[in-house]
Amino acid sequence: MKWMGTYLLGYIIVLGGITAALWKLGITESVGSTWMAIGIAVAVGVGIMISVSSSGEKKVLEIDERR
């Protein structure tokens, strides 16, 4: 689970950098704040899905019952 958190933190930092670059270029002025919030929420959701899907090896445990 620690790798998933690290991946998600890095993804959020990248999103922050992209948002800052768009702000500095003046692109965010032409896009409404509501659409920016929606875009960031979707991007964070995609990051969560990617980090969960690549969070580790999936194993099936088999338990033998001997009575």
pLDDT tier, 50 (very low <50, low <70, confident <90, very high otherwise): confident
Question: Which pTM does this prediction carry?
Answer: 0.61
Write down the domain spans for the chain: 2-53
Helix (H), strand (E), coil (C) string for 10-65: HHHHHHHHHHHHHHHHCHHHHCCHHHHHHHHHHHHHHHHHHHHHCCCCCCCCCCCC
Query: Does pLDDT of 16 surpass 70?
Result: yes
- Residues 6 or more apart from 12 whose CB is under 8 A from it? 44, 47
Query: Does pLDDT of 19 surpass 80?
Result: yes
What does the pLDDT average to over 10-32? 86
